[in-house]
Amino acid sequence: MITGKILGNTYVLNGHPVPVSGQGPAMKSGIYYEVVRLIQGKVLFLEDHLERLQHSLDGSGIPFPGKEKIRDNLRVLLEHNGIMEGNIRLCITGSGKDEPVICCYCIPYSYPGQDAYLNGIQLVTYPFQRSDPGIKRWDNTFRVSVNEYIHARGVHEAVLVNEHEEITEGSRSNIFFIDGSGLLVTPPSGEVLPGITRKHVLAICRESGNKVEERPVRPCDLSGYVSCFISGTSPKVLPVRQLDSIAFRVDHPLTGMIMEAYDTLVAANLTDLFHHPD
């Protein structure tokens, strides 16, 4: 079990502020959750996160509490904590017999520095297959083991390899490759968590006319790609300089275009929970 670490002085439980004393709520296996990013006091891609959370709860037996109720909980959290930047974990639990329990709190975060965006990061492969990759549900055993694996190797992220020897995604991110012709390749949607940033990266490529293929990528195929990057809520679009022993070009023009276009999208997709349009 991972105990929740909380920033600020209050977390919110079913709309009610709860003073933080020591550690926060524990993350247990089976909790459905989202991590949303707060930028200048506004929530990034909130509607996307709420739709994915609703999809995760479908078939779980836990009713979706409704978007407005979740927004109310987030609003209370921001009212009671003077935090303008960071990550918020939003958790939903329940038995299906009663109303779902909503808990949200500000968690410690680490965003890549400018050096990482300029020079890229290092990744390693990690043998693991999610039982249901399309659902964002906490797996405590996996989270503890992969965090230890990443820390022991001193890398930024671990990339999962399934039982078919196919690369699927990062432990907290999605992954993309670029071949010598400029084709963008990413593992198939059905094999990975449908990342919010991934969704917008694919849209950027479609709208700009850059070809994308969703197909399996194996570790033995890596030498056939010239560039690589990961995407996620915290890293945004982040170049990779090395995966295991394979080195990649960090300054690929397609990666640069996507990074710039994504930053523009971020600025246009921030939700002010305290703004009530007429």
CATH (residue range 2-107)? 3.30.470.10
Long-range CB pairs of 149-154 (<8 Å, 24+ gap) are: 149/124, 150/124, 153/124
pLDDT of residue 1: 35
Per-residue model confidence as pLDDT tens for the chain (278 residues): 334 567 888 999 999 999 887 566 778 878 999 999 999 999 999 999 999 999 999 988 899 999 999 999 999 999 999 899 999 999 999 876 678 999 999 999 999 999 999 999 999 999 999 989 999 999 999 999 999 999 999 999 999 999 999 999 999 999 999 999 999 999 999 999 999 999 999 999 999 999 999 999 999 999 999 999 999 999 999 999 999 999 999 999 999 999 999 999 999 999 999 986 54
**Distance (Å, whole) CA 238 – CA 234:** 10
Start and end residues for every CATH 3.20.10.10 domain found in the chain: 114-266
Report residue 255 CA to chain centroid gap.
Answer: 19
Homologous superfamily of domain range 114-266: D-amino Acid Aminotransferase, subunit A, domain 2 (3.20.10.10)
Where are the domain boundaries for CATH 3.30.470.10 in the chain? 2-107
Contact present, 40 and 85 (Cβ < 8 Å)? yes
84 close to 6: Cβ distance less than 8 angstroms? no
**CA 166 – CA 50 distance, rounded (Å):** 30
DSSP 156-201: SEEEEE-TTS-EEEESSSEEEEEETT--EEE--GGGS---HHHHHH
Q: Are 53 and 39 in contact (CB under 8 A)?
A: no
Q: CA 200, CA 261: separation in Å to the nearest integer?
A: 10
